[in-house]
Structure 1
């Protein structure tokens, strides 16, 4: 099939907005997970994403601690 044989796009693509499912968190939920196609996807921000590996969790802790130190220096 050639590009000229495809029908024209009639509707603009829809953007889905997912926010973190953690109570009180207003961050963008860019990390989704679902055990199967029958179960709706749940979305989290990276900080609250429950499916991180141990190494990813340690890296997040280091970044948060560094940010906390930087914040303390500026105050």
Structure 2
């Protein structure tokens, strides 16, 4: 299919806004996961997204510790 075969865009694309599913968290849910196409996607912020590598966990701890020092 080429670009010339597509109909013209008649309305603006919709933006989907996902927030973290963790109770009490109001961060942007940029990390989604679904075990299959039949199951709706669940969304989390990076801090609450379940599976993380050791390097990701270490980077997150450093970021949180730095933010905590800045608040004091």
SS at match of 2:43: strand
Deviating 4+ runs (over 3 angstroms): none
CA displacement, residues 43-66 of structure 1 (integer Å, 9 cap, x when unaligned): 001111112212101110011111
Instruction: Kindly report the root-mean-square deviation, in angstroms, between the aligned alpha carbons of the 2 structures.
Output: 1.4
Tell me how many residue pairs correspond in the alignment: 72
TM-score (norm 2): 0.86
Deviation at 1:2, TM superposition (A): 4.1
What residue in structure 2 maps to residue 14 of structure 1? 14
Distance in 2 between the 1:54 and 1:62 partners? 12
TM-score (norm 1): 0.83
